[in-house]
Amino acid sequence: MAHVWIADIGKHVGEEVTLKGWLYNKRSSKKLVFLQLRDGTGIVQCVVFRPDLGDEIYDICDKMPQETSLSLTGTVSKDDRSEIGYELQVKKVEIAAYPTQEYPITPKEHGVAFLMDYRHLWLRSKRQNAIMRVRHELIMAIRDYFDINGFTNLDAPIFTPNACEGTTNLFEVGYFDTKAYLTQSGQLYMEAGAAALGKVYCFGPTFRAEKSKTRRHLTEFWMIEPEVAFIDLDGDMDLMEDFVCYIVKRVLEKCRRELEILERDVTALEKIKKPFPRLTYDEAYARLKELGSDFEYGTDFGGDDETMLTQSFEVPIMVHRWPREIKAFYMKRDPKDPTKAMGVDMLAPEGYGEIIGGGQREDDYEELLKQIDKEGLPHEPFEWYLDLRRYGTFTHSGFGLGLERTLAWITGIKHVREAIPFPRMMERLSP
RNA sequence: UCCCCAGUAGCUCAGCGGCAGAGCGGGUGGCUGUUAACCACUAGGUCCGCGGUUCAAUCCCGUGCUGGGGAGCCA
CA of A72 to C1' of B28 (A): 28
Mean pLDDT of A272-300: 88
CA of A43 to C1' of B28 (A): 30
| Any domain includes A111 | no
Domain that holds residue A266: 119-419
Tell me the CATH number at A48: 2.40.50.140
What does the pLDDT look like over A314-337, one tens digit per residue?
999 999 999 998 888 999 999 999
Hey, what amino acid is at A346? M
Q: What are phi and psi of A305, to 5 degrees?
A: -65, -45
Nucleotides of B under 7 A from a protein CB: 1-2, 10-13, 23-28, 30-37, 66-75
What does the pLDDT look like over A35-66, one tens digit per residue?
999 999 999 999 998 888 888 888 889 888 88
Q: What's the mean per-residue pLDDT of chain A? A: 90
A70 and A164 assigned to the same domain: no
| Angle, CA of A317, A318 and A323, to the nearest 5° | 135
CA of A223 to C1' of B71 (A): 25
> For residue A51, is the peptide bond before it cis, meaning its omega torsion is within 30 degrees of 0?
no
Split into its structural domains, chain A has a count of: 2
CB contact set of A61 (below 8 Å; sequence gap of 6+):
A26, A28, A33, A35, A48, A93
A49 and A128 assigned to the same domain: no
- pLDDT of A175 strictly over 90: no
Res A330: pLDDT = 92
Domain final residue pick, A62, A97, A132? A97
Nucleotide nearest to A408 (CA to C1'): B75
From residue A157, give the alpha-carbon distance in Å to each of A180, A187, A247, A379.
11, 11, 26, 20
Mean pLDDT of A259-264: 90
| Any domain includes A18 | yes
CB contact set of A295 (below 8 Å; sequence gap of 6+):
A285, A288, A289, A301, A302, A305
Q: Quick one: CA torsion of A238, A164, A415, A297, rounded to 10 degrees?
A: -70
CA of A183 to C1' of B55 (A): 64
A89 and A137 assigned to the same domain: no
CB contact set of A381 (below 8 Å; sequence gap of 6+):
A161, A162
* Nearest CA among A396, A290, A304, A387 for reference residue A353: A304
| Any domain includes A187 | yes
- pLDDT of A164 strictly over 60: no
A61 and A152 assigned to the same domain: no
- pLDDT of A270 strictly over 80: yes
A60 and A178 assigned to the same domain: no
From residue A221, give the alpha-carbon distance in Å to each of A380, A405, A411.
29, 9, 17
- pLDDT of A165 strictly over 60: no
Q: Are A343 and A331 in contact (CB under 8 A)?
A: yes
- pLDDT of A84 strictly over 80: no
Nucleotide nearest to A64 (CA to C1'): B26
Domain final residue pick, A97, A127, A154? A97
Res A397: pLDDT = 97
CA of A8 to C1' of B31 (A): 34
Nucleotide nearest to A32 (CA to C1'): B33
A159 and A83 assigned to the same domain: no
CA of A102 to C1' of B26 (A): 8
- pLDDT of A212 strictly over 90: no
What does the pLDDT look like over A1-41, one tens digit per residue?
789 999 999 999 999 999 999 999 888 888 888 899 999 99
| Any domain includes A424 | no
Q: Lowest-confidence range among A122-126, A212-216, A221-225, A410-414?
A: A212-216
Q: Which residue is nearest to nucleotide B75 (CA to C1')?
A: A402
| Any domain includes A364 | yes
Nucleotide nearest to A106 (CA to C1'): B25
A75 and A178 assigned to the same domain: no
Q: Is A174 helix (H, G, I), strand (E, B) or coil?
A: strand
A270 and A132 assigned to the same domain: yes
A343 and A400 assigned to the same domain: yes
CA of A428 to C1' of B59 (A): 32
CA A226 to chain centre: 16
**Confidence band for A163, pLDDT divided at 50, 70 and 90:** low
Nucleotide nearest to A225 (CA to C1'): B75
For the beta carbon of residue A279, count every other beta carbon within 10 angstroms. 19
Tell me the CATH number at A314: 3.30.930.10
| Any domain includes A73 | yes
A86 and A150 assigned to the same domain: no
A91 and A141 assigned to the same domain: no
A82 and A132 assigned to the same domain: no
From residue A226, give the alpha-carbon distance in Å to each of A31, A66, A344, A403.
61, 45, 14, 13
CA of A143 to C1' of B36 (A): 38
For A166: left if phi > 0, alpha if psi spans -120 to 50, otherwise beta; the answer is: left
Buried-state track A39-66, b at ≥16 Cβ within 10 A, e below 16:
beebbbbbbbebeebeeebbebbbebeb
Q: Is A304 helix (H, G, I), strand (E, B) or coil?
A: helix
Mean pLDDT of A181-193: 93
| Any domain includes A102 | no
Q: Specify the long-range contacts of residues A92-100, CB closer than 8 Å, at least 24 apart.
A: A93/A48, A93/A53, A93/A57, A93/A60, A93/A61, A94/A70, A95/A60, A95/A64, A95/A68, A95/A69, A95/A70, A96/A20, A96/A68, A96/A69, A96/A70, A96/A71, A97/A68, A97/A69, A98/A65, A98/A68, A99/A65, A99/A66, A99/A67, A99/A68
Q: How far apart are CA A236 and CA A387, in angstroms?
A: 23
Q: Containing H/E element for A100?
A: none
Q: Is A142 helix (H, G, I), strand (E, B) or coil?
A: helix
CA of A300 to C1' of B53 (A): 49
Q: Which residue is nearest to nucleotide B25 (CA to C1')?
A: A106
Provide the percentage of residues in chain A whose pLDDT is more than 70: 98
CA of A110 to C1' of B13 (A): 11
Q: Are A405 and A348 in contact (CB under 8 A)?
A: yes
Nucleotide nearest to A303 (CA to C1'): B71
Nucleotide nearest to A30 (CA to C1'): B31
Nucleotide nearest to A116 (CA to C1'): B67
**Confidence band for A92, pLDDT divided at 50, 70 and 90:** very high
| Any domain includes A113 | no
Q: What are phi and psi of A167, to 5 degrees?
A: -95, -5
Domain final residue pick, A67, A97, A127? A97
Q: How far apart are CA A110 and CA A106, in angstroms?
A: 8
